Amino acid sequence: MKQFTRKMYICAAAGIIFAATLFFPLPGAKAEPDKHEIEAELNEMFKARAEALIHPYPESINKYYLPEKASQMALQHEHLREEYVNKWAEKRALKLTSSESSIRIIRQSIVEDKARISLVQSHKVGYVYINKVMQEQVFGVGTRHFLTLKKSEGRWKIAREWYLDPLDENPAKIADGPEGIAPAVRAKSEPTDGQKYKRKRAVHYANKYAGAAWGAGNKHHYNKKYLDYTGKGGDCTNFASQVIGDPEEGGGLNMAGGWRYFQNSGGTQTWVQTDAFSNYLTRSGYGTLIAKGDYHHIVTPSQKYPGGAISQLQAGDLIGYILRHNDTDHFSVVVGFDDYGYPLVNSHTADRYRVPFDLGWDRDTKYQLFHIKD
């Protein structure tokens, strides 16, 4: 729990209240009319927004929004998102090459010219390294959207929207690398199981249960054995605990001390809460804190780590993210490295599948690099 970004902290309470109202039908809601029309228009909207990530021309998506304040705020978020992702790519000497979206409508309630929609988006993004001869690399994100649509000039348009965005950050605050390029920190290799920690199984678990993110398995569903803590502050730590501790499919570390999950009541504080889990990893002896610091600190070569501290991570290790007050706010699972050697992570809330580890974060973020002992 506790992994909302700065913007998420500001809008989370209002957003959750707004989102909750969408699960209840509007008074006098129609059963079927307009549903197919709305689905077609939503598919068009989300396809256009995905394409705008590669070709960020404002006019390409402006037509899907109303001139009202709430609608224009939602539009501004999309433009800032486009700017952030493209500036991040520039800082890492990358070029975005493809962006594809699919949506699944969960609920919709329609009355006359107004509709409330909840849907899940799976988004696939491709990139290549500039001046490097290698194939396109791909990652996936998954988001849950709550929208109010209004019909205007014969088209359904976005009146307001709320979602937890894994690519939401300030374009002006992207961290610089030591050489202005993404560091190639580790060659690709297959994880292997140790005596205590089944690292290969842990990575497989992280990929299978990465939720709504494009590329995830299990038909984009979480593991139903575990409660979903998304509505209780976030599910990232619950997911990280599952990855390293699930006895059947995950890493199989023994549940011990206060780090446990009970089928009837859920996880203990150490299992689901970021700071408690962070402290437990080192206190229990299950993990070693390789390094802690901002982006520049962990990627810069040193006498101790000639490839930078981040080069010591292996698939199946964990990264904690600190936003403020030295408290851990998020956890992700290292699931491998792209063809260039850049670390890729999976996480919940929002869902990520093989995403570059620092995408969606800024220069003020501090990273905790945890190696899980085999």
Residues 100 and 224 in one domain: no
Residues 58 and 134 in one domain: yes
Residues 150 and 260 in one domain: no
Residues 12 and 151 in one domain: yes
Residues 37 and 102 in one domain: yes
Q: Could you tell me if residue 367 is inside a domain?
A: yes
Residues 165 and 228 in one domain: no
Is it the case that residue 158 has pLDDT exceeding 90?
A: yes
Q: Could you tell me if residue 191 is inside a domain?
A: no
Contact (CB, 8 A) for 323 and 311:
no
Domain count, the chain: 2
pLDDT tens-digit series, residues 194-223? 899 999 999 999 999 999 999 999 999 999
Q: Is the peptide bond before 350 cis (omega within 30 degrees of 0)?
A: yes
- The SS3 call for residue 139 is strand
Kindly report the CATH number assigned to the domain that includes residue 65: 3.10.450.50
Q: Could you tell me if residue 153 is inside a domain?
A: yes
247: Cβ contacts below 8 Å, ≥ 6 apart: none
Q: Higher model confidence: residue 330 or residue 14?
A: 330
Per 3-state DSSP, the chain is made up of helix, strand and coil in percentages (nearest 5) of: 30, 30, 40
Radius of gyration of the chain (CA): 21
Q: Could you tell me if residue 55 is inside a domain?
A: yes
Residues 359 and 226 in one domain: yes
Which range is least confidently modeled, 4-13, 148-157, 333-342?
A: 4-13
Q: Could you tell me if residue 64 is inside a domain?
A: yes
Domain boundary among 139, 173, 207: 173
Q: Stretch 155-172: mean pLDDT, rounded?
A: 95
pLDDT tens-digit series, residues 92-138? 999 999 999 999 999 999 999 999 999 999 999 999 999 888 999 99
Residues 24 and 167 in one domain: yes
Q: Could you tell me if residue 31 is inside a domain?
A: yes
pTM over 0.85: yes
Report the DSSP beta bridge partners of residue 294. 366
Contact (CB, 8 A) for 147 and 57:
no
Structural domain that includes position 124: 6-173
374: Cβ contacts below 8 Å, ≥ 6 apart: 193, 194, 195, 196, 197, 199
Residues 15 and 163 in one domain: yes
Residues 140 and 229 in one domain: no
Contact (CB, 8 A) for 336 and 202:
no
Residues 158 and 287 in one domain: no
Residues 72 and 18 in one domain: yes
Q: Could you tell me if residue 190 is inside a domain?
A: no
Q: pLDDT-based confidence at 7, cuts 50/70/90?
A: very low
pLDDT recorded at residue 369: 98
Q: Could you tell me if residue 134 is inside a domain?
A: yes
